């Protein structure tokens, strides 16, 4: 952090609000700032907008919304408070959490009324924990699809989804698209949906590098970008935060590194840090992450902790009194022939389906495989304290791959040789042969599979309760009885894939107040400096209550920060 009197400093650029990072939080802060009459510059380190949001599901977890009530799946803030109290205990009394719950519905309405950003809840999208107050639907809202063609040349600025989640040369597919594409002749609805999706993709590829039907996180980012362009907000790409500038205790601007050299930007009203959290910062990963979790990240490689580190140098405090420094995802890894390293997040397409188990190096199960991805890895980390569990292995038979796929292996794949040859997929004609291939005790693995098969017959998982929660059943196979998450494994061949902990997003970040102001170790706000998104410590303190509990707070606190900077504190309610 540099300090020099403002009157003696020569600024390259001056504006009201500087926002650092063009993910969901940064784009929202910039958009709201512009809507409230501020001159705004949005600085993005890379050449594309979207950050982690662009590769996510694009869901927001906001209880009690008008949109949910209108869709016929109403939810209440009081029920959400009950749910969060069961998960967080005394931490549920955080004033930031109260501000989030009170503000969230108003932010959804504000965006829908003033921008192109719009959300709608799916009928069923369960919370991640079977606790009092948990919602089956209405609390998690998905963004509406967006037609990329509205962006014109700016489409090239939109970070694409992970290529492992696209098919047919760049076609995005959602969970509801999968049955139609896998089984187009099973029903007329499946057939018509498949024809519609494939026809559009064929037409798109004539004029575009990938499909123009944007869904999930890509649609959210596209809607934000489209809205920013409509408001003529200046976006500076390849503009990396180097240092914050302080004058008499206030953050008044920042130094940025660009392709044309360093520049200084004067922020007359304030700065919002929203650079994507810890990401690939080797320093922060070493300081904050537990052993065994530092190797793989699902963040863009441009996310290197710039905002958090700059905020810390400006005397902000990194909050570490949380339960986990990151939100975790089990991921399998495969080097591709073109040099790309595929890190595949095992979200829900295989782990919850019947006929798969996860085992550690001792050959035994350690977790309910159908629980949320974060809880799965938390189980892996607990298991690793007593038995080697990083990596762990997902185990199934050939019929499972036929029906559901396994990681990068799509359902129905017949030729598995490429995956086996690369070392991604392990195969054994017998359980003993598979155990030898993955380096676990054969007798232990055989006993584990036998116990699982007995549970599958009764439909009751006596070890971990798999299939007993709404979330488990939602992600299982509803057509399989008696338990949609369990069926026998075998006969062979048997297969395994190794899964590693990877961070989906960071929970540790700068300590902030209810308006997003960065706080010192003495809990005093730093004038002129706000943080939102993963640059700010999670209001859920390292827990993962449900889908969208990263993007929801990112957008809500970005709104609160921008409104605070614009002098609209009277619209923020009590804090």
C-alpha–C-alpha distance, residues 267 and 256, integer Å: 13
Q: Is the pLDDT at 511 greater than 80, yes or no? A: yes
Q: Is the pLDDT at 307 greater than 90, yes or no? A: yes
| DSSP-assigned letter for residue 158 | B
Q: Is the pLDDT at 183 greater than 80, yes or no? A: no
What domain range is 176 assigned to? 160-215
Minimum mean pLDDT among 42-46, 153-157, 373-377, 424-428: which range? 153-157
Q: Is the pLDDT at 253 greater than 70, yes or no? A: yes
Kindly state whether residues 78 and 121 are assigned to the same domain.
yes
C-alpha–C-alpha distance, residues 474 and 402, integer Å: 20
Q: Give the tokens for residue 403.
A: 């029906």
Give mean pLDDT, residues 300-306.
96
Domain presence at residue 311:
no
| pLDDT on residue 192 | 72
> Among residues 137, 274, 125, 154, which one has the least CA distance to residue 214?
154
CATH number at residue 493: 3.90.700.10
| pLDDT on residue 94 | 94
Q: Is the pLDDT at 202 greater than 90, yes or no? A: no
Q: Is the pLDDT at 401 greater than 90, yes or no? A: yes
Q: Is the pLDDT at 249 greater than 90, yes or no? A: yes
Kindly state whether residues 236 and 366 are assigned to the same domain.
no
Q: Is the pLDDT at 168 greater than 60, yes or no? A: no
| pLDDT on residue 190 | 72
| pLDDT on residue 213 | 73
Burial 301-326 (b: 16+ CB within 10 A, else e): ebbbbbbbbbbbebbbbbbeebebbb
Domain presence at residue 305:
no
pLDDT category, 337, cuts 50, 70, 90? confident
Kindly state whether residues 486 and 519 are assigned to the same domain.
no
Contact at 8 Å (CB) between 323 and 541? yes
Contact at 8 Å (CB) between 267 and 15? yes
Number of domains in the chain: 3
Q: Is the pLDDT at 162 greater than 80, yes or no? A: no
Contact at 8 Å (CB) between 143 and 58? yes
Minimum mean pLDDT among 172-176, 221-225, 348-352, 361-365: which range? 172-176
Q: Is the pLDDT at 3 greater than 60, yes or no? A: no
Question: Which of 457, 478, 503 is the last residue in one of the domains?
Answer: 503
Sign, Cα dihedral of 324, 329, 330, 331: negative
Kindly state whether residues 355 and 478 are assigned to the same domain.
yes
Kindly state whether residues 181 and 243 are assigned to the same domain.
no
Kindly state whether residues 184 and 46 are assigned to the same domain.
no
| pLDDT on residue 420 | 96
Domain presence at residue 307:
no
- pTM, two decimals, is 0.93
pLDDT category, 170, cuts 50, 70, 90? low
> Among residues 44, 48, 40, which one has the least CA distance to residue 18?
40
Contact at 8 Å (CB) between 352 and 175? no
What tens digit of pLDDT does each residue of 518-544 get?
999 999 999 999 999 999 999 999 999
> Among residues 535, 500, 496, 532, which one has the least CA distance to residue 103?
532
Question: Which of 503, 528, 559 is the last residue in one of the domains?
Answer: 503
What tens digit of pLDDT does each residue of 53-88 get?
999 999 999 999 999 999 999 999 999 999 999 999
Close Cβ partners of 282 (under 8 Å, ≥ 6 residues apart): none
| pLDDT on residue 214 | 84
Kindly state whether residues 410 and 522 are assigned to the same domain.
no
Kindly state whether residues 116 and 232 are assigned to the same domain.
yes
Q: Give the tokens for residue 86.
A: 């069961």
Kindly state whether residues 499 and 522 are assigned to the same domain.
no
| DSSP-assigned letter for residue 216 | H
Longest Cα pair distance anywhere in the chain, in angstroms?
78
C-alpha–C-alpha distance, residues 533 and 307, integer Å: 11
Burial of 249 (0-12, 13-18, 19+ CB in 10 A): exposed
> Among residues 163, 166, 159, 154, which one has the least CA distance to residue 302?
159
Q: Give the tokens for residue 431.
A: 């359980």
Contact at 8 Å (CB) between 380 and 512? no
Average pLDDT for the chain? 93
Domain presence at residue 412:
yes
| pLDDT on residue 391 | 97
C-alpha–C-alpha distance, residues 188 and 173, integer Å: 19
Burial of 205 (0-12, 13-18, 19+ CB in 10 A): middle
- Of residues 162 and 416, more confidence is placed in 416
Kindly state whether residues 221 and 106 are assigned to the same domain.
yes
Question: Which of 170, 191, 215 is the last residue in one of the domains?
Answer: 215
What tens digit of pLDDT does each residue of 259-279 get?
999 999 999 999 999 999 999
Give mean pLDDT, residues 183-198.
70
Cα–Cα distances in Å, from 168 out to 15, 337, 406? 44, 18, 19
Give mean pLDDT, residues 392-397.
98
What tens digit of pLDDT does each residue of 482-496 get?
999 999 999 989 999
Kindly state whether residues 336 and 422 are assigned to the same domain.
yes
Domain presence at residue 83:
yes
Q: Is the pLDDT at 191 greater than 60, yes or no? A: yes
What tens digit of pLDDT does each residue of 373-386 get?
999 999 999 999 99
Domain presence at residue 151:
no
Give mean pLDDT, residues 210-229.
90
Domain presence at residue 154:
no
What tens digit of pLDDT does each residue of 547-574 get?
999 999 999 999 999 999 999 877 776 5
Tell me how crowded residue 430 is: count the other CB atoms within 10 A of its CB.
15
Q: What SS3 state is found at 342?
A: strand
Give mean pLDDT, residues 133-155.
93
């Amino acid at each position: 952090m540099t300090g020099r009197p403002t009157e003696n400093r020569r600024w390259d650029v001056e504006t009201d609000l500087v926002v650092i990072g063009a993910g969901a939080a940064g784009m929202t802060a910039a958009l709201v700032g512009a809507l409230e009459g501020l001159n705004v510059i949005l600085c993005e380190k890379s050449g594309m907008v979207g950050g982690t949001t662009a590769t996510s599901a694009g869901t927001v977890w906001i209880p009690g919304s008008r949109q949910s009530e209108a869709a016929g799946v109403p939810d209440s803030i009081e029920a959400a408070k009950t749910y969060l109290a069961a998960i967080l205990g005394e931490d549920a009394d955080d004033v930031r959490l109260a501000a989030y719950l009170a503000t969230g519905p108003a932010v959804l309405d504000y965006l829908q009324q003033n921008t192109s950003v719009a959300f709608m809840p799916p009928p069923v999208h369960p919370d991640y924990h079977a606790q009092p107050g948990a919602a089956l639907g209405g609390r998690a809202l998905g963004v509406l699809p967006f037609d990329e063609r509205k962006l014109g040349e700016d489409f090239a600025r939109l970070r694409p989804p992970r290529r492992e989640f696209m098919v047919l040369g760049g076609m995005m597919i959602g969970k509801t698209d999968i049955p139609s594409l896998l089984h187009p002749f099973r029903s007329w609805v499946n057939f018509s949906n498949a024809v519609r999706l494939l026809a559009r993709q064929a037409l798109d590829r004539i004029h575009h590098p990938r499909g123009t039907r944007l869904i999930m996180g890509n649609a959210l980012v596209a809607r934000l970008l489209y809205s920013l362009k409509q408001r003529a907000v200046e976006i500076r790409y390849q503009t990396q935060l180097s240092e914050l500038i302080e004058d008499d205790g206030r953050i008044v601007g920042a130094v940025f590194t660009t392709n044309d050299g360093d520049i200084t930007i004067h922020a007359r009203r304030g700065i919002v840090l929203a650079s994507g959290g810890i990401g690939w910062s080797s320093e922060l990963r070493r300081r904050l992450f537990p052993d065994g979790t530092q190797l793989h990240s699902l963040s863009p490689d441009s996310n290197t902790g710039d905002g958090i580190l700059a905020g810390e140098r400006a005397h902000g405090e990194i909050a570490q009194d949380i339960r986990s420094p990151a939100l975790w995802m089990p991921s399998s890894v495969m080097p591709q022939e073109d040099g790309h390293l595929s890190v595949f997040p095992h979200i829900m397409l295989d782990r919850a389906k019947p006929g798969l188990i996860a085992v550690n190096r001792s050959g035994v199960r350690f977790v309910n495989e159908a629980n949320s991805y974060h809880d799965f890895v938390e189980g892996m980390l607990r298991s690793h304290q007593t038995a080697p569990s990083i990596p762990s292995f997902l185990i199934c038979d050939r019929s499972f791959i036929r029906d559901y796929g396994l990681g990068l292996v799509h359902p129905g794949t017949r030729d598995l040789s490429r995956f086996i040859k690369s070392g991604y997929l392990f195969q054994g004609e017998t359980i003993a042969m598979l155990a030898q291939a993955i380096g676990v005790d054969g007798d232990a693995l055989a006993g584990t599979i036998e116990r699982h098969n007995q549970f599958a017959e009764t439909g009751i998982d006596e070890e971990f309760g798999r299939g007993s929660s709404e979330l488990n059943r939602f992600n299982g196979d509803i057509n399989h009885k008696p338990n949609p998450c369990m069926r026998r494994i075998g006969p062979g061949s048997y297969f395994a894939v190794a899964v590693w902990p990877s961070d989906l997003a960071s929970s540790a970040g700068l300590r902030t107040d209810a308006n997003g102001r960065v706080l010192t170790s003495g809990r005093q706000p730093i004038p002129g400096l706000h943080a939102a998104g993963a640059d700010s410590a999670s209001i859920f303190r390292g827990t993962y209550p449900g889908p969208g509990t990263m993007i929801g707070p990112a957008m809500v606190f970005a709104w609160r920060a921008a409104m605070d900077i614009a002098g609209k504190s009277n619209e923020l309610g009590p804090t």
